[in-house]
């Protein structure tokens, strides 16, 4: 059982509190030093630096691929800090954070990854052939090749950090503390959405984007609890963000890259934001449930965390 395996004699609430502090230091203090240093060099004066800081240092002329690498670096430091905190404070290995199986199931990660790649590619092609006027071809060989390599090789560090933080460390920790599963599922989904609420998309499109972000967090949480591991969530998140980086970009999104296409349409939000949550996500859950023969939905999503289980230490 995924949450139960986090039960350890010393896994009290303060272990997780100190762990989150270590993760924050690695992610938001140590991890941002290269980005801040690069921005400081690029800025002509302190006033321009302070103004750029309010927009995540966009607009300073930093190369888009370099900017992406610098952003990923902060998440990579957060991931290292998370693994350190889990090992030193919570006595958990990477395997225990990832899955309740005897070892990490890479086949599950691959299945989820290519399922999302396939579905998202089909949806993009439908959009492209029905609204081709909003897309501008943006292919530039060298920048795109660099972007592709950075996205495939490094971007999973960012998505893995978010999964290990929300579906791993926080979900297990809250399950251990509250002794139930519904609260960790809902809480991590809402916090996942609220943190993404800082993205510029929310300012442009409005609070309806929160339906998408919280819904995505809920989808990933359900995958993790029903499958007794985060492999499917890891594959989903990596595929989603890699495609977002290399396929379509805009001049107002959080992720601005040398993608294949530029979406030049006027920013707006409506059913296109809500429909994936209401239609695409249930289809994904249905496919995974059938493939992996999920059962015991009520117990796995809303049951108690059984603290009397004897686990191998």
Which residues does residue 137 pair with via DSSP β-bridges, in sequence order?
261
**Coil, strand or helix: which one is 138?**
coil
* Res. 311: pLDDT tops 50: no
Specify the pLDDT at position 270.
66
Mean pLDDT of 67-81: 97
Number of domains in the chain: 1
Q: Are 304 and 179 in contact (CB under 8 A)?
A: yes
CA 110 to the chain's CA centroid: 16
Of all residues in the chain, the percent with pLDDT exceeding 70 is 96
* Res. 5: pLDDT tops 70: yes
Nearest in space to 243 (alpha carbons), one of 223, 222, 231, 257: 257
* Res. 312: pLDDT tops 50: no
The answer to the question of residue 307 being in a domain is no
Q: Which two tokens stand for residue 199?
A: 């993205």
DSSP letter (8 states) at residue 308: T
The answer to the question of residue 257 being in a domain is yes
Specify the pLDDT at position 201.
79
The answer to the question of residue 136 being in a domain is yes
Q: Measured between alpha carbons, how far is 266 from 283 in angstroms, rounded to an integer?
A: 29
* Res. 60: pLDDT tops 90: no
The answer to the question of residue 313 being in a domain is no
Residue 263 φ then ψ, to 5°: -85, 110
pLDDT tens per residue across span 146-200: 999 999 999 999 999 999 999 999 999 999 999 999 999 999 999 999 998 878 7
The answer to the question of residue 203 being in a domain is yes
* Virtual torsion, Cα 260, 262, 267, 273, nearest 10 deg: -10
The answer to the question of residue 248 being in a domain is yes
Specify the pLDDT at position 308.
59
Which residues does residue 136 pair with via DSSP β-bridges, in sequence order?
262
Mean pLDDT of 290-298: 97
The answer to the question of residue 124 being in a domain is yes
Q: Measured between alpha carbons, how far is 184 from 61 in angstroms, rounded to an integer?
A: 41
Nearest in space to 272 (alpha carbons), one of 211, 204, 221, 220: 211
pTM greater than 0.75 = yes
Query: Residue 63: which residues within 8 A CB-CB, separation 6 or more?
Result: none
**Coil, strand or helix: which one is 136?**
strand
Q: Measured between alpha carbons, how far is 170 from 187 in angstroms, rounded to an integer?
A: 9
Q: Measured between alpha carbons, how far is 225 from 297 in angstroms, rounded to an integer?
A: 9
* Res. 214: pLDDT tops 50: yes
Which residues does residue 135 pair with via DSSP β-bridges, in sequence order?
263
* Res. 28: pLDDT tops 70: yes
Q: Taking all residues of the chain, what is their mean pLDDT, rounded to a whole number?
A: 91
CB neighbours of residue 169 within 10 Å: 24
The answer to the question of residue 194 being in a domain is yes
Q: Are 207 and 273 in contact (CB under 8 A)?
A: no
Give the structural domain span for 188: 4-302
Which is more confident, 60 or 69? Answer: 69
CB neighbours of residue 195 within 10 Å: 14
Distances (CA, A) of 127 to 121, 223, 246, 248: 10, 27, 16, 12
Task: Give alpha helix (H) positions in the chain.
Answer: 13-24, 33-42, 46-53, 64-89, 94-98, 106-130, 141-153, 155-163, 171-178, 182-196, 200-205, 209-227, 231-246, 271-275, 281-292, 297-302
Specify the pLDDT at position 9.
63
């Amino acid at each position: 059982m995924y949450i139960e395996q986090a039960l350890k004699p010393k896994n009290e609430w303060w272990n997780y509190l100190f762990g989150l502090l270590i993760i924050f230091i690695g992610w938001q203090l140590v991890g941002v030093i290269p980005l801040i240093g690069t921005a400081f060099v690029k800025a002509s004066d302190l006033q321009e630096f302070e103004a750029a800081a309010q927009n995540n240092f966009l607009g300073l002329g930093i190369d888009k691929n370099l900017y992406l690498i610098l952003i990923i670096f902060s998440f990579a430091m957060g991931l290292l800090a998370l693994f350190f905190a889990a090992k030193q404070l919570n006595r958990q290995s990477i395997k225990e954070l990832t899955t309740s199986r005897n070892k990490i199931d890479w086949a599950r990660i691959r299945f989820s990854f290519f399922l999302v790649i396939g579905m998202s590619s089909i949806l993009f092609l439908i959009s492209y052939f029905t609204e081709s006027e909003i897309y501008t071809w943006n292919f530039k060989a060298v920048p795109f090749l660099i972007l592709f390599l950075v996205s495939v090789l490094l971007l999973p560090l960012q998505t893995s950090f978010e999964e290990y933080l929300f579906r791993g460390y926080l979900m297990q920790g809250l399950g251990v503390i509250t002794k139930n599963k519904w609260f960790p599922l809902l809480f991590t989904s809402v916090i996942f959405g609220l943190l993404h609420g800082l993205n510029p998309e929310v300012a442009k499109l409005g609070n309806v984007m929160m339906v998408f972000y919280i819904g995505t967090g809920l989808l990933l949480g359900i995958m993790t609890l029903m499958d007794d591991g985060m492999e499917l969530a890891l594959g989903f998140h990596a595929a989603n963000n890699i495609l977002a980086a290399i396929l379509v970009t805009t001049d107002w999104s959080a992720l601005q890259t040398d993608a294949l296409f530029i979406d030049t349409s006027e920013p707006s939000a409506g059913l296109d934001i809500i429909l994936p949550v209401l239609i695409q996500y249930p289809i994904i859950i249905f496919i995974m449930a059938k493939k992996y023969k999920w059962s015991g939905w009520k117990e796995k999503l809303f049951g108690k965390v059984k603290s009397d289980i004897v686990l191998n230490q």
